[in-house]
Structure 1
Amino acid sequence: PGEDYETAARREVREETGVDCELGEPWFLLHRVWSVPDEPKASHSLHVFFEATYTGGDLAPQPGESNGVAWFARLPERLGEFAARRGRWPESRRPSHSGPS
């Protein structure tokens, strides 16, 4: 609470991977709303996905934060499919499978 998206994203990357990054433009937004039986209020989550550039630190997963971390020479093919199914990733912003240069 109280953090802007960019500050929260940089903090989460550092906590979960051990690296620091510089954020670029957001790639897409995923907002979910759901209800739980017998609960008076709906719950929601907001996920903002950013393009980012590595700036330092050692890649190391943090216990309890992530299942693993890795560098990719190419973006996983299903990454674009994941976002496209949700309809919030504009065609012009979908990553190529060749990954960043």
Structure 2
Amino acid sequence: MPTELNETRVRTCKDRLLEHYDGVSVRAKDEVVSDELFAYLRTVVRDGYVGSGYVWVVRTPDQAAELSDSMGPNDQPDGARVLMILHRGSATWQVPGGSVESGETFEDAAVREVQEETGIECTVQDCFRLEHLRTVADGSDERLHTLWAYFDGRYRNGCISIQPSELNGAAWVNTKPQSVGESLKTRAEAWFDE
């Protein structure tokens, strides 16, 4: 039986989120990684990493910038849009977010990461998905636990300005990108088909 690392902390965080939000989809996910990656992840977990928060940020047409004089009369806002990002080295669109730091909630981390990665300020409205990730390696008798939380959010302020050390791009999209992250497929299909 493997030694469980971070299981209690992840369970506590997951329980808090499930008590606070209704109708959250919860998924347990097992992954096997290389011994080298596992050693790195073990160090990160032992240093306090519990997981990451991400936000599905929606901007409504009335929150878009005013059109410039050079735009024609038919160039009007065309509905709500979602903020999506493209990480360096990836062709898959995701939503912004990242690691929970010491003393932060998953919500606080998600909002901070959106601003750091994209320059966009947002608020968290709801939690729609939790992923409890259990990571093992063939050469280890340990299992690492982390939690990924996905929130619905609303645009508050700002213009896209990407963090170039992490991203190749970001955009407000109103049609489903060809390649969307696995954790977002159900949300994307439902939202873009509305």
Q: Of residues 176, 182, 186 in structure 2, which corresponds to 1:82?
A: 182
Q: Distance in 2 between matches of 1:10 and 1:71?
A: 17
Which runs of 5 or more structure 2 residues have no equivalent in the other structure?
1-101
Pairing partner for 2:156 from 34, 55, 80: 55
Q: CA RMSD in A?
A: 2.8
The answer to whether the 8 A contact 1:17-1:61 is kept is yes
> Residues of 1 paired with 2:174 and 2:150: CA distance?
19
Is the contact made by 1:15 and 1:65 (CA closer than 8 Å) also made in structure 2? no
Greater share of strand:
2
Does 2:134 correspond to 1:33? yes
SS of the residue corresponding to residue 146 of structure 2 reads strand
Structure-1 separation of matches of 2:175 and 2:128: 17
User: Number of paired residues?
Assistant: 92
The answer to which structure, 1 or 2, has the higher relative contact order (CA under 8 A, 6+ apart) is 2
SS of residue paired to 1:71: strand
| Residues 48-91 of structure 1 deviation map (CA, whole Å, 9 limit, x = unaligned) | 11111111122011022223211002344765x93488xxx6x9
The 1:84/1:22 distance shift into structure 2, 3 A limit, reads closer
Could you tell me which runs of 5 or more consecutive residues in structure 1 were left unpaired when the two chains were aligned. none
How many angstroms apart in 2 are the aligned matches of 1:84 and 1:59? 21
**TM-score w.r.t. length of structure 2:** 0.40
Distance 1:6 1:84, change over 3 A: closer
SS in 1 for 2:127: strand
Match of 2:113 among 1, 7, 12: 12
- Cα shift at 1:37: 3.8
- Counterpart CA distance in 1 for 2:104 and 2:141 is 27
